[in-house]
Structure 1
C-alpha cells in the first residue's frame, strides 16, 4: 500500500524546492495552501521530503479544512522575512559588540576620591604631563635641546613627588616605600634587525631616568620594571607615543609612593630617553645599569594609535599572563601575540631589548586604534580619546600592585605555550597548552560523536564546497582591486575602515555563495543541503583545530570555539527535529532556530576581534611602502572578515533552493559594482585626520655641491599630481623620479626604513640663489655647499697594515658639531671592530652604522680591521648627518648671510591639509679613509 508520505512526494513538490525559475508543480491544492502549511512551523526548513507523516499531514489538513486563502503570503515575502530576521540578529550582535568594544572608562579628574579621600588614578594628572611634554616642549628628538628640556622636566617632577612622599611619611607616621632615583647616562652599541635589514647602532650620552619604590633590601632582590620612553620620532610631538606612558607612570608613582610600602617585590620605573632612535636607551639600561640584575619581568607601555583601549599584544610567560587577570579592563589575545611574531606588523618596541639582552619575561601593551595619527604632527593631547589614559593607567596600576604585593617573581620562565584572550573586555581567560590540548581532544570527541549519532551529516562534497568558499572569500575581492585600479582610484577605503567591507565584502560573499550554488545537490532537499553544509563546516573547523594544535599554535582556540559552537548547534538541531518528527525518524534538515544558536557566540566574539583587525591593519597600509599591494592586502583581509563573521551563512544560503540563491548572488554582485562606482566618484583616500605620510629631506651634497629636495611617500596612493606637481611650481624646478631599488642610500638618515620609500628629487639651487639677499651666494658660480661651515667630518687615525694577514687597521673619528643622527655606510670584508655587541659578518658585505647621541654629542669613534691589498687600499665611507634645526619649530639652518631662504620652512608652511610631513635637513659627504 502506498504510504501517505509517498503520495505527498508524488503529488506535492514544495514550491521552494524548484531548481531554477520554473513554476511549482502542485496537485489538488493551491501553492498558497502548501506555503501556508509550510510556514505554520516558524522554524521549518522548506523543501524537505522527509518531514514526518503526522506533522505534515495535520498541517495540510488543517490548512485545507479552514478553506481560507492567505493571499498576503508569497515566496518573496517569506524569503525576505526569513533572511531579514537572521541578518538582523547578526547585525544586532555586531552592534552590541561594537558598543562594548569602543567603550572606555569614565575619566577621573581628582587624585583622591572627594568622598572617601582614597587615592585614585587621575586621567587629568596624566594629561597635564602629556600637554606639557607635547605643547610646551614639543618634538623631543634625541640630540635636540627639547630632549634636554624634557629630561630636566621629568627629573624636576619626580623629585617633587619624592619630596612630597617624604613629607607625607613624616606627617602620617606610616611606613611608605623607599623612593630612590637615578639618572643614567651611558654609551654603547647593539645590532638592530628590521625587515631583512641589519643596522649597527652606536649611542653616546644616552639618558635614562629611573625610579624605584621598595620596602627595603628584602624587596630589592626581585623587581618588576615598568617602561616608557620620553623621546619622539621625527615629525611628531608624541602625545600617545609615548608621553602617555610617561604620564601614566608618573601618576602610578604618585599613588604608590603615598601608599604603604610593597610587601614582596620592588617596582622600578624607567623613563627612557631613546626608543625612537632604535631602542638605544632601553639597551643601555638593561645592559649597563646597576639594577639590571634585579629585574625579573617587564611591563612595557607603548602606543601606535591615539584611541580605544590598549591591547596586550606580546607576552612570554605563564606567570605574567596570569597576572594580567588582575587588570580591571582586560584587552588582549594570543592572536595578536602570534600575529606580531610573524613580522607582518611593521613596528617594534623596547620589549625586544629587555627580552634579548635581559632575558626577561613580561607584557607588552600598546594603544593601537586610530594609528592614522601615529608618528605624525597630529599625535597631540587633543586627539587622544577621553578615557584612554584612565584605561591604560588603571590596568598598569593593577599590574604593579599585584606584582609587588602578591606575585612570585623568582622563577619566571619564558614560554609561548599559553592560550589567553579577553571576553568582550570584561574578563580575561588564560590556560596552559596542556589544558588546551585536553580541551581540543574533548571538543573533537564531542564533534565526532555527533557524526556517529547522525546529528551531523558531513559529506566530502560539502567539505570541498566549504573550503572552496573560503578560498573564494579571500581571492575574489581582488577583482575589485583590478576595477579600482582601472578607474584610477586605489586605496578608496583608507580613510574609512568600514568602507573596505562595503567595497570587498559583497563580492566575497558572492564568491562564498557561488560555490554553494555550484555544489547544491538538485537530487536532495534544501534541508539536506543545509545540513550537509553545516555539518561540513564542523568538519573543516575540526580539521583546522587538529592541524593548528599539532603545530603548537596557541591561536588554535579560535577553531575550538567554532567547532564547539557548531557541535552544540547540531545537537540542538537533532533534539528539535526529533521532537517535531517523532522518534526513529532521521534528521535531514536544519531548524531555523539552530542558526541563531550556532551564530551567537562565534559572531559576537569574532566581531569583537575583527573590529581590532580593521583598526590595526587599515591605517598600517599607509606606511608599508609604495610597492606594497595594499589594495590586495585589504581585499584579502576583508574577505577573511566576511567569512569568519558568520560561516553558518554558507549553510543558510541553501534554505530556499538554487533559484533564490542565484538571485542573491546576482544581487551581491550588483551591490558590489554600485559600491565601487559610487566610492570612486565621491571618495578620496586621505583627509586631515587620515593623512598621507610624506617624507621630506633637504640634502646638501658636499661631494657634488648639489642642493636637493627629496619628496617621498610610503603608500601606493596618489602622490605626484596632488602633491609633487605643486612643489615643482613652488620652487620652479622639475622633479626627477628616483626609485629606492636603484638608489638605496638616498634616505640613509632613516635607514632601515628607507626601503619603503621612493622619491621625486628637485634641485633647489636656483631657488636659493634667487631668494637670498647675499650677493656672494646669488652671483658666485661656486657650489653652495662650499659656503657651509662646520660640516661633519670623518678622519682616519692609527692606520696600519699587516702583510702576513692582509689586515688593515684604522680608527675612524667623526666630528659633527650642531648635527645629530649620523650614519656611515661602506662595503668591505671586516675581520673585527670595536662594537662589542656583535661580531661583523664573516664575508664581504654592505655595512650601515647609525650613531645617535644625547644633547650634546659632537663626535664618536670606531676601530675597524678589514681585509685589504695594502695600507693604501682605503675604505670609501659615506656620511650623512642630520641638522638639529626644525622638528616643529619651522626653522632650518641657513647659509651664512643668506637671509630667509629656508627650504624646509617653505615646505612645512605650504603643507596640504591631507598630508603629514616627516621632514629634516641633512648633509652628505664621502671620505676615503
Structure 2
C-alpha cells in the first residue's frame, strides 16, 4: 500500500487493490456504507459477446417477420374457402398482363391488348355475378391538362386520348369507394409489380364481391387506369371528367416501388384518421408507418403516385399502398413473375378484400367531411399488431413522457448524490450527457469520412448487392465511436476522483435518456409525427426507472442496471425491424439518384442514425466490461479489413446479373438527332449522337473498359449555358437537375422516323402599343413529346387553362415552361397557343422553343449502329434506350 498526494485537489490518495482511496475522506459512515454498497461492477468480456449474440437473434427474428407472407390459397381451395381471396386465380390474371411485355402509353400492348384483356375478364365476372349485385362498366377516353409541382422542377401535363377501364359494383347509395391501379408500365418493363400485380388483385376482389348474395352498403368503383407512368394522367382524367367521380368519398391507391414482400401503408388522409382506424380494424396483415408518409411527402423519395391526383384535384381522402421490397427490379425488365412470390399476392388480396368490405360498409362513407379530424400517428409492430392514435394524443403522450423521464432522471441523480459533493455531481451529470452526444457527433463524422474515402477510391455503393457490408462499413465505426469516449473517460475519471463503475454506468445511461428526451420534446414542438420512434426509445427505460425508484431496490445499482438494460430490448428489437424496412427501400433507390450525389453519405448517415437509435443505451455498458478493448479492438479490425476488401478486391463491385436476385446498374441511352434553328428559321447547327443519362455514382465509368466509345464522351456542361435544357432530349422534368453530369457521344444519325418531330408556329400582334403577341403553335410528333418554352417577354396566358406555371428551371436567367405531352390512342396534332407581353420593341428573339420527340414505341426504327453499341453493355447493366429528336427554334 502506498500514498499519493494529489496537488490539484489537496488530498491524499491511497492505492488499495489497484484503486485510489481518499484518506482525507470526511464523509459520514452512512455515506461510506452507501458508496461501498455500490461496489465496482466488472463484467467479463463474454457478457458483451452474449449481447452481440442476442442482437443477432433479434435481427434474425425481425428479418423473418419483415418478409413473412401468408400461405397462398389455390384454385383447388375455392370450395373450402368460397369467400376468401384466391391467390392462384389472381396470379393467372397477372401472368396474362405480364405476357404482353412492356406497356407504355400509346403502345399497341397498352392501348389494345391490355384493354381487351381487362375488358374481357370484367365481362366474364359480370356474367357470373350474383343477381343481387349490380355491375356497371365503362371505357373512358380522356383528354386534358394540369400542372404538377414536382420538386425541384414541375411541369404542365397534357394528355390526349388516354384510357381508363372503370367498373362500378353498385348499391342504392350515392357514395362510393374508389380502388385504383394502373395497367400501363414504363418502357422496357413488363410491369409485373408496378402495377400488374395490383390490377390482378383488384380483378380477384371484384370477382369475390360480385359472387356475394348481399350487396355492400356503398358502391365500390374499380379504376384500371391506363396512363400513370406518363405521369399520373389517366387518374386526372377520371377524377376531373368521369360521370361517377362526384360520388367518390374515399379511395384506395395501389402502387409499387419494388417487387414481392408485403405492401406497406405509407400515406393516409390528408386528415381523416378514420381511414387509418378502418385499416387497423379490418386487415389481417397490417404493415405501415407514418415515417414513410413524412419521408415521401418531404420529396426525399424521387417518386409520386395517383394519391396526389385524387387528393389535390378530387379533394378526396384516401390510403396509399406500395410494395417496396426488392427495389432493384423496379422499372426494369426484371419486374416479371419470378420476382413476385404468390404469397405476396395473397397478402395484398387478403388485406384489400377485408379493407374494401369494411370501408364500403361504413356509415362514415356517407358523410366523410364530418370526420376530417386531423392527422394521426400509425405504425405496425412486426406485422402482428397495428398502433394508431391521433396527433394530439401523441403530443400529450410525448409531453407526459418527457415529464416522467425528467422525474426519473432527477431521482437517479439523488441516489448517485449520496457521498458526492454537489459540484462534482453536476460535473458528472454534464459529462454523462456530453460524452454520449460527443460520441454521436464522432459517429456521424466517422461515416462521412468512410463515405468520402470509399468514393475517392471509386468504391462507393459496395453494399449495393451485399447490404450486409453496411454492418461492417458503417455500424462498426458508429459503435466504436459511441463506446470509446466512455472508456477513455472512465479510465481518466478513476484517477482524478473516484466513483464506482456501477454508478458511472447509471449516469451515462441516464444521460442518454435525457438526450433522447430532449429530441422527443423538440419533435413534439415541431409536430413531427415520426418522433413516435424516439418516444419508444424513451418510454421503456423511463417506466423501468420509475418502477425501480418506487421499489425497495432503488439504491441497488446492480438491480437498477439489470432492469434498465432489459427495458431497452423492446425498442431495440423494433429499431432492427425499422432498419430492415428502411434499408430494403433506400439501398436499391441509390441506383437512380444521379451521379452527382455520393450514395455512401446517404446510406452511411442513415445507418448511423439507425445504429444509434437501437444501441445508444447498450453501448454505455462498455464502462462495466472488465476488458473493454477486447470489444473495441475486433470492431476496429472488422471495419479496417472490410474497407480494404471493398477497395482492393471484387467484393466491392456493386452490381450483379444473378437471374434469381439481379442488382443491375441502370443506364439510359437516347440516340438523338439535334437541329437548332436561328430567328430566320435557318438551321444554325445540326448533329447526332448518344445521350448517356447517368443515374448513379458509377455512370459511365463502370463500362468504359468495355465500351471504348464512352471514353470519348463529352461532358454536356458547356451545352447547358448555350442551349435550352442543355440541348438534350429530356424524357422527364426530373432529369433537368442531373443533366449537367451527363455525357454526349457523337454518332451517326438515327434512321428517318415515320413521324418526324416538327413545329409550325405563327405570330400575330394583338396590341402594337405594347407588343402583346399571340403565338399559335402546332407540333407533329410521336406519342411522347416534351415542349420547353423560354420567353424573353412575359408569358401572360396560354391555352392550358389556368395561369401559366413556371417549371422552376431557369435558363439564361429567365423562366422556362415544361410541357409534357402524351398521346394514347391516335388523335390530332398537338396544338396550343400562348400570349406574350413585350414592354419594348425588339428585333431579337422573344421566345426560345425546344420540341423533343421520344420514339418509345418505334423500336423497329433503331439503327444497326445503335444496336451494336447497346450490345456492348455487360449483362449486369439494365439499359433503357430508344431514338429521340431535339429541335429548337427562336421566334
Cα distance, 1:144 vs structure 2: 1.3
Cα distance, 1:114 vs structure 2: 3.3
- Verify: 1:864 aligned to 2:834, yes or no: yes
User: C-alpha distance in 2, partners of 1:626/1:815?
Assistant: 34
Cα distance, 1:678 vs structure 2: 1.8
User: C-alpha distance in 1, partners of 2:796/2:642?
Assistant: 61
Cα distance, 1:516 vs structure 2: 2.2
Does the 8 Å contact 1:574/1:587 carry over to 2? no
User: C-alpha distance in 2, partners of 1:917/1:321?
Assistant: 40
Does the 8 Å contact 1:240/1:384 carry over to 2? yes
User: C-alpha distance in 1, partners of 2:77/2:364?
Assistant: 30
State the SS of the aligned residue for 1:114: coil
Does the 8 Å contact 1:800/1:871 carry over to 2? no
Map 1:109-508 → 2, pairs under 5 A: 109-110=74-75, 113-115=78-80, 118-135=82-99, 137-148=100-111, 149-165=113-129, 168-169=130-131, 175=132, 177-216=133-172, 219=173, 221-316=174-269, 317-325=272-280, 326-409=282-365, 410-412=367-369, 413-414=371-372, 417-454=375-412, 459-508=429-478
- Verify: 1:105 aligned to 2:74, yes or no: no
- Verify: 1:759 aligned to 2:726, yes or no: no
CA-to-aligned-CA distance 1:680-729 (integer Å, 9 cap, x gap): 31311111211111011010224444231122321112532x42453345
Aligned to 1:91: 56
CA change 1:682–1:727 in 2 (3 A) is: closer
User: C-alpha distance in 2, partners of 1:750/1:54?
Assistant: 70
CA change 1:142–1:762 in 2 (3 A) is: same
- Verify: 1:921 aligned to 2:874, yes or no: no
| TM-score normalised by the chain length of structure 1 | 0.83
Does the 8 Å contact 1:279/1:350 carry over to 2? yes
Does the 8 Å contact 1:180/1:213 carry over to 2? yes
State the SS of the aligned residue for 1:244: helix
**Number of corresponding residues:** 822
Map 1:766-785 → 2, pairs under 5 A: none
Aligned to 1:892: 860
| TM-score normalised by the chain length of structure 2 | 0.87
More deviation in 474-483 or 274-283?
Answer: 474-483
Cα distance, 1:340 vs structure 2: 1.5
More deviation in 602-611 or 902-911?
Answer: 902-911
Q: 1:710 aligns with which of 691, 703, 707?
A: 691
Q: 2:672 aligns with which of 696, 699, 711?
A: 699
Q: 1:750 aligns with which of 728, 732, 751?
A: 732
CA change 1:572–1:241 in 2 (3 A) is: same
More deviation in 183-192 or 508-517?
Answer: 508-517
Aligned to 1:905: 867
Does the 8 Å contact 1:685/1:717 carry over to 2? no
CA change 1:49–1:132 in 2 (3 A) is: farther
Aligned to 2:715: 737
CA change 1:313–1:128 in 2 (3 A) is: same
Q: What are structure 1's unaligned runs of at least 5 residues?
A: 1-8, 19-23, 26-47, 60-74, 170-174, 580-584, 769-783, 895-900
CA change 1:49–1:679 in 2 (3 A) is: farther
Does the 8 Å contact 1:126/1:248 carry over to 2? yes
Does the 8 Å contact 2:152/2:734 carry over to 1? no
- Verify: 1:652 aligned to 2:638, yes or no: no
Does the 8 Å contact 1:822/1:851 carry over to 2? yes
User: C-alpha distance in 1, partners of 2:329/2:291?
Assistant: 24
State the SS of the aligned residue for 1:687: coil
Aligned to 2:570: 601
More deviation in 458-467 or 280-289?
Answer: 458-467
Cα distance, 1:411 vs structure 2: 2.4
Cα distance, 1:542 vs structure 2: 1.7
Aligned to 2:593: 624
User: C-alpha distance in 2, partners of 1:153/1:227?
Assistant: 17
Aligned to 1:826: 790
CA change 1:836–1:400 in 2 (3 A) is: same
Does the 8 Å contact 2:153/2:736 carry over to 1? no
Cα distance, 1:518 vs structure 2: 4.2
CA-to-aligned-CA distance 1:855-894 (integer Å, 9 cap, x gap): 22352111110123569755332111111445xxxx3316
Does the 8 Å contact 1:206/1:273 carry over to 2? yes
Q: What are structure 2's unaligned runs of at least 5 residues?
A: 1-11, 23-30, 417-427, 677-684, 808-812
User: C-alpha distance in 2, partners of 1:794/1:669?
Assistant: 64
Cα distance, 1:159 vs structure 2: 1.5
Aligned to 1:791: 756
Cα distance, 1:788 vs structure 2: 5.6
State the SS of the aligned residue for 2:102: coil
Aligned to 1:557: 532
Cα distance, 1:54 vs structure 2: 8.4
Does the 8 Å contact 1:241/1:304 carry over to 2? yes
Aligned to 2:425: none
Q: CA RMSD in A?
A: 3.0
CA change 1:81–1:179 in 2 (3 A) is: same
Does the 8 Å contact 1:313/1:336 carry over to 2? yes
CA change 1:831–1:55 in 2 (3 A) is: closer
State the SS of the aligned residue for 2:623: coil
Aligned to 1:876: 848
Does the 8 Å contact 1:138/1:237 carry over to 2? yes
CA change 1:384–1:13 in 2 (3 A) is: farther
- Verify: 1:727 aligned to 2:707, yes or no: yes
CA change 1:588–1:741 in 2 (3 A) is: farther
User: C-alpha distance in 2, partners of 1:13/1:358?
Assistant: 78
Cα distance, 1:252 vs structure 2: 0.7
User: C-alpha distance in 2, partners of 1:469/1:10?
Assistant: 31
Does the 8 Å contact 1:182/1:209 carry over to 2? yes
